Structure 1
């Protein structure tokens, strides 16, 4: 699943390639991905992209239009808001087929074609989603806050305003485990399964530790690990093309997805705890005093 660093890099890539260009047409192919219908997604045709940004894991593309007299469009700006979910991705296309794609059983969910007066096969991008469990979400709104997922977002972890005192206030009274709290988008926006593992490993904290029980020193270490881990990941991704971001994320992770491999810090074996639809990875020596965490699903299989 794309998380804050990948969406940040993706927004920077798209800002470079989209801003100032006019949208020729929108081809929606997967109706289930469309979360808003008024205005329709096709209302973006003819509009010019003026900005690309990120809100948590959401990609926000700002478009402006002109009325018949050349003045700003009476409807104002419209925003194309995309959440890539677990298996969604954006594929940049330097040249698109002149004809719109036909709906089918493939992964293509939506195509955005850009106008190019010199070549009818202009550039654009495809939104795709693999697998049978669909979560890709596309909205067209007059205000990004109209998207429920954005309205619920907590502070951005890379915001300089997220001070140690504010983090402590967010964790105060939290009975949930650190792993779950870090992944909660209403607490901190943009951290998912992979980077929560990376942050907790960097902070040398157990994913099962109750958030409210952190000492002052542990809170300070966690605050530093959040900023450093995410900033390093953003820097590694900076300047990469959209098609290179997935591979960069995988190679940059130290513990997530590396169960059975040696910890890069202490050499102990990275362990895993499995859940119904996800898993976490951690280092026992670095994070849990050398004690493996209980994996309830594995325990049931051994009975």
Structure 2
């Protein structure tokens, strides 16, 4: 799933190439991807792209239509979505129900992009709205973890009293925006914290370590994503991972074997030596540390 660093990379790419251009074509290929009906998708045609911004994991393409009103194309790539950029958009229209393309946007000078989604489970979401606050997922977002006001004390206030596993807290977009399964694994490894530790149980030193790990992990990922075209962003993400997606490989910090816990539709990875005092987490959803 694309998370904050990759989405920010896409935003920077689109801002450089699409800002100032006019939308000449807007075609929804997979109708289930479109989550709004007013204004209609065709209202985008003829509008000028003024800005490209990120809100958590959402991309917000801000436009001004022919009447001078604001209109936004907002999309969330979900687990298997991505963006494919064209210097020249194919002239043949994509066929509904066939292939991975969910939406196609054409711009003046012939360039543009497709929103695509692999697999059979379709979760990519596209909205056309007058205000980004009309997108429920954006309206519910928590604070951005790299904002200046997301201090160590602000994080401590978020964690206080939460009898929830810290892995779940980091992934909850209404609590902290932009972090998903992969970077929560990486952050917890850097902070040397068990993914099953309860948020309210973290000591002041743990909170210090977690706040520092949020910054170092996400800053490094943002640097890796900076300037990369969409086709290279996923590889840049994978190269930077120390535990996520590295089950069975040695931890780059201590050399222990990276382990996994599997759930219904995803998994988490961790290092027992670095994070759980050498104990192995049982491979079931509501497990406790094996004794």
1:77 to 58, 70, 79: 70
Deviations 1:195-250 (A, max 9, x none): 00000000000000000010001101100100110011000110001111011111
Distance in 1, Cα, partners of 2:97 & 2:261: 37
After superposition, where does 1:121-160 map in structure 2 within 5 Å? 122-160=110-148
How far is the alpha carbon of 1:96 from its aligned partner?
Answer: 1.3
Question: Is contact 2:43-2:65 (8 Å) kept?
Answer: no
Deviations 1:87-145 (A, max 9, x none): 110000111123433324210110000122xxxxx110000011111100000111111
How far is the alpha carbon of 1:283 from its aligned partner?
Answer: 0.3
Structure 2's unaligned 5+ residue stretches are none
1:296 partner SS: coil
Deviations 1:152-182 (A, max 9, x none): 1000011111011110111111101011110
How far is the alpha carbon of 1:37 from its aligned partner?
Answer: 0.5
Distance in 1, Cα, partners of 2:131 & 2:164: 33
Q: Which residue in the other structure is 1:88 paired with?
A: 81
Q: Which residue in the other structure is 1:264 paired with?
A: 252
2:162 to 153, 174, 185: 174
Q: TM-score, normalised on structure 1?
A: 0.93
After superposition, where does 1:177-188 map in structure 2 within 5 Å? 177-188=165-176
Q: Which residue in the other structure is 2:192 paired with?
A: 204
Q: Which residue in the other structure is 1:70 paired with?
A: none
After superposition, where does 1:244-263 map in structure 2 within 5 Å? 244-263=232-251
Q: Which residue in the other structure is 2:50 paired with?
A: 50
Deviations 1:253-283 (A, max 9, x none): 1100001000000000001111111100000
Distance in 1, Cα, partners of 2:133 & 2:90: 34
Distance in 2, Cα, partners of 1:175 & 1:276: 22
> What is the Cα-based RMSD across aligned positions, in Å?
1.1
After superposition, where does 1:223-262 map in structure 2 within 5 Å? 223-262=211-250
Deviations 1:5-46 (A, max 9, x none): 000111000000000000001011100000000001111000
Whose Rg is larger?
A: 1
Ranges of 4+ aligned residues in structure 1 off by more than 3 Å = none
How far is the alpha carbon of 1:48 from its aligned partner?
Answer: 0.6
How far is the alpha carbon of 1:66 from its aligned partner?
Answer: 3.0
Distance in 1, Cα, partners of 2:62 & 2:223: 24
Question: Is contact 2:57-2:178 (8 Å) kept?
Answer: yes
Question: Is contact 2:2-2:77 (8 Å) kept?
Answer: yes
Q: TM-score, normalised on structure 2?
A: 0.96
Distance in 2, Cα, partners of 1:98 & 1:274: 43
How many residue pairs were aligned? Answer: 286
Distance in 2, Cα, partners of 1:262 & 1:64: 51
